[in-house]
Structure 1
């Protein structure tokens, strides 16, 4: 411990401070690889492709991070289940549509203010690891 930190701690020892509160709260799922029926070309119909998704959701109220049980927080398990259900729901033409569907599903939870979704097709170009999009959607402000 440096002398400056030790001096600061000594100064603060007698000071009563408010408990810290979270400034922001995000949950995320990274590198979720799911087989998906996706694409606009004839050879892309009828065959699933590997798609990697990343989802980051920003909560409207960062105090949700202080929850003590699963019912009081937004669960990343719900995000994964939503992605899996969308994958099972049928063919999607564009990665942009897929990203929008995932973001809209996240924003259906009123506790979520923003959803950032990355969708990557992993087997499009042999010389590239992936090709895809990132979409960020925010909940519109209510006038009430």
Structure 2
């Protein structure tokens, strides 16, 4: 396939007024993590960058400028830090799945797009990693 045949795909917007969805996100959260399948990765921590995009159902109540009426991104960030701080994980895919599962525990979260990148693996690349999208099947 030639470059002229490649079409850039722009994902659908997560925020959607008609569906009463709000876009809650965390950008470029860089943490130290024990992750990797190779022997040298099991003995040292490495930097990972995490990005989250959550489609969150807006409540029927007015916002009233109250934290209790919205999904708190600080709590989500704390949850990500707790997961990353656990025991060693072999795969970035596993870490992404654990993070998406934590996000989807809140029934207001309809979908979670999670990107996990290892930052110091390839000298000639900024990062390597995975991005997943999961949906809340409980609602």
> What TM-score, normalized to structure 2?
0.81
* Max Rg structure: 1
Q: 3-state SS of the aligned residue for 2:54?
A: strand
Q: Distance in 2 between matches of 1:64 and 1:85?
A: 31
The equivalent residue for 2:50 is 53
The equivalent residue for 1:3 is none
Q: Distance in 2 between matches of 1:63 and 1:88?
A: 32
The equivalent residue for 1:106 is 103
**Mapped pair 1:62 → 2:62:** no
Q: Which has the higher helix share?
A: 1
> What TM-score, normalized to structure 1?
0.78
Q: Distance in 1 between matches of 2:120 and 2:78?
A: 24
The equivalent residue for 2:114 is 117
Q: Is the CA contact (8 Å cut-off) linking 2:28 and 2:50 kept in structure 1?
A: yes
Across the aligned residues of Structure 1 and Structure 2, the Cα RMSD in angstroms comes to 1.8
Q: Distance in 1 between matches of 2:45 and 2:119?
A: 12
Q: Runs of 5+ in structure 1 lacking a partner?
A: 1-20
**Mapped pair 1:140 → 2:133:** no
Q: CA deviation at 1:48?
A: 0.6
Write out the 4+ residue segments of structure 1 that deviate beyond 4 Å after TM superposition.
63-66
Q: Deviations over 1:32-80 (max 9, x none)?
A: 0000000000100121100000011101x23479522111100110111
User: How many residues are paired up?
Assistant: 121
Q: Distance in 1 between matches of 2:53 and 2:126?
A: 21
